[in-house]
Each structure stands twice: as structure tokens, then as C-alpha cells.
Amino acid sequence: MTTVSEKIDAKLVKELREKSGAPMGDCLKALQETKGHIEDAFVVLRKRGMASAQKKAARSTNEGAVGTYIHAGGKIGVLIEVNCESDFVARTEDFQELLKDIAMHIAASDPRYVKSEDVTPEDMEREKEIYRAQAAATGKPAPVIEKIVEGKMAKFYEEVCLLEQPFIKEQSISIKELIAQKVGKLGENITIRRFARFKVGAPDWTVAQTKAVEAAGE
């Protein structure tokens, strides 16, 4: 009798492995569950990656590396610190690839914060007031207005918060999900500590760090 695993083409497993970064065994299981549908299997792996990342989120990340990215022509530069649990993982090819990818993404997308929790109360209230005024101008009732504001704030976080932004090289996943994939593969918690982005001729620059860094007084 032919087993389910024998029906899954090895090339398909390899393709999913390259697409997701997940271990071969996990890719095979996901393809078995989805009867060989690679996009559905990718969704399964994304969900498992986020679950794995959430379980490891409480672990301290005191190791890591600093990465840089200089855009073609030297007009935009990014400096970023990404942390993990061990120096061994920090030196792996997978971690270094993640470091480079996120630095490149920052150069292209210009986020202002690391995550939504880092948005200042002033910026949050300013945006809410703008969206509330826009919605009120349509004459809609208060409960509807608040729903509209809630939806627009979610979009705002996606635009300005690094972890919420769609990954520049793979728009179907967010930076948060990209990190979760690496957490699942490397078996350690991974966090973004801080970054800076500079552009030649710009009147200012972006420097962002998590609240944990601010609380430590660094």
C-alpha cells in the first residue's frame, strides 16, 4: 500500500522548505495535512511558526548581532541590532540572513517604530483624532465611527511599525511572521532591539528602539 508520505513529491517538500525556511520534516507533515497543496501547507507552517514564537517569547535574548545595509549608491543606510539567546545561533547563516533581510526592508519601507506597543501616546492620539474627525464628517453614528477608527489604526500600525509591515521580499508575510519562521527553525527566541535609518539630504532620521531598551535606560 502506498503511504501518504510516499505520494508527496520530494521536490514539493524542497520547494516548501525554501519558501518557508521550516525544517524538511515539518514541511512534509504540512504537505501531508493539506494533501500536497503548497500554499495551504505554507499557511499551516506560518501558524505553527507564530505559535512556536509565542511560546519562546518570554525567553531572554542577551546575544545577537548588529547588521548594516547600504542602499545602492550609498544614499540610504540602516544599522540594526537583532537579539537571540545564544552566540552560536547569532553566528548561523540563517540568523545573518535574517539580519540582512530586515535591514534591507527598513531601508525600503522606512518604519518609525519597532512594534505597535512602541508608538508614543502622542502619536497614537493624534492619529485617532484625525481618523475620528474624518469619520464624523460622514455623519455616521458614534459606534460606527469608533469601528472605523479602530480599522484605520490597524492600518496605521502596519504602515509605521516594523513588525507589522509586509516583508518587502515576500508581501504575503509580515516581518513578525518572518521572524517567527526563523524562531521555529533555529529553536530560539529572536527579537529586534533597535534600528536607525539615515538618508542623504533628509532633514531628520529615524531611530527606533523597543520600550524594554528605554526602560533599561540605554
CATH number at residue 202: 3.30.479.20
Number of domains in the chain: 3
Please tell me whether residues 108 and 168 are part of one structural domain: yes
Please tell me whether residues 28 and 93 are part of one structural domain: no
Question: pLDDT per residue over 10-40, tens digit each?
Answer: 888 888 877 776 777 788 888 888 888 888 8
Please tell me whether residues 100 and 198 are part of one structural domain: yes
Question: pLDDT per residue over 47-90, tens digit each?
Answer: 777 666 777 777 889 999 999 999 978 999 999 999 999 999 99
pLDDT at 168 over 50: yes
Please tell me whether residues 130 and 29 are part of one structural domain: no
Last residue of a domain, one of 56, 74, 95: 56
* pLDDT value of residue 95: 97
Please tell me whether residues 95 and 49 are part of one structural domain: no
Please tell me whether residues 166 and 209 are part of one structural domain: yes
Please tell me whether residues 178 and 112 are part of one structural domain: yes
Question: Which range marks the domain in which residue 135 is found?
Answer: 120-157
Q: Calculate mean pLDDT across residues 152-174.
A: 93
Please tell me whether residues 81 and 16 are part of one structural domain: no
The reply to whether the predicted model has a pTM over 0.85 is: no
Tell me which residue of 114, 120, 108 sits closest to 191, measured CA to CA. 114
Please tell me whether residues 71 and 149 are part of one structural domain: no
Please tell me whether residues 24 and 128 are part of one structural domain: no
